[in-house]
Amino acid sequence: MKKQIAALFTVLALFLSMGTFVSAEQATDQMKKTVEDGLKKEHKDMKEGTLTISDIQSFPNEDSELDASEVTIGIAHFETVRDNIFYFDHSKFVFYNPDTNELVAEAAAAKANPKLIDYKDAHESDIGTHMDVVVVTLLLSILIIVPLLILTVWEKRQYLTTKFKIENNLFNQDNLYR
């Protein structure tokens, strides 16, 4: 009986935990296209097809100067590639006006609803730029490997006159120790 109750409780907890993911708002195609166009203006080296928008929420507009009924906020994740070597993963807040299909400036969105600031504070740890360090580490390792190769492989093949003179007794050192 205890095993059945534990199994029932586990299944119930599993279904309740999935409920939060199901109710999340999804980005529309128009929103993705607008955000991608806005980010391409800012990041010329943005990699094609890497944009995803997560944690989307809409808040009603309380600012009379902003021409929108609501402001949608989300976290945009995308990649940039510089010189085909340096890969960066970016995460940043995007503010979207669904009425006019335009991006909203952060200052204007902050005036629109104070809940947007609370949203930003709650998700501040998700924002940032991260560099793929594998390529940079390989490039920096060349700075160590090449001199080591020169010292170990090439230097051993160099002609050393002192070694030659000692081996052929040109310093006449054998007479000193006899």
Domain ranges across the chain:
25-131, 137-167
Q: Which of 79-83, 110-114, 171-175 has the lowest mean pLDDT?
A: 171-175
Cα–Cα separations (whole angstroms), residue 68 to 59, 101, 119: 11, 10, 19
The pLDDT score that the predictor gives to residue 28 is 84
User: What digits encode the pLDDT tens for the residues 118-137?
Assistant: 999 999 999 999 998 988 89
Identify the sign of the CA torsion 68, 70, 71, 75. Answer: negative
Instruction: State pLDDT tens for residues 81-109.
Output: 999 889 999 999 999 999 899 999 988 88
Q: Which long-range contacts (CB under 8 A, 24 or more apart) does 135-142 make?
A: 135/85, 135/86, 135/87, 136/86, 139/85
Mean pLDDT, residues 16-32 taken together: 65
Q: What is the mean pLDDT of the chain?
A: 84
pLDDT band, residue 22 (cuts 50/70/90): very low
Whether the per-residue pLDDT at 21 is higher than 70: the answer is no
Asked whether residue 50 carries a pLDDT value surpassing 50, the answer given is yes
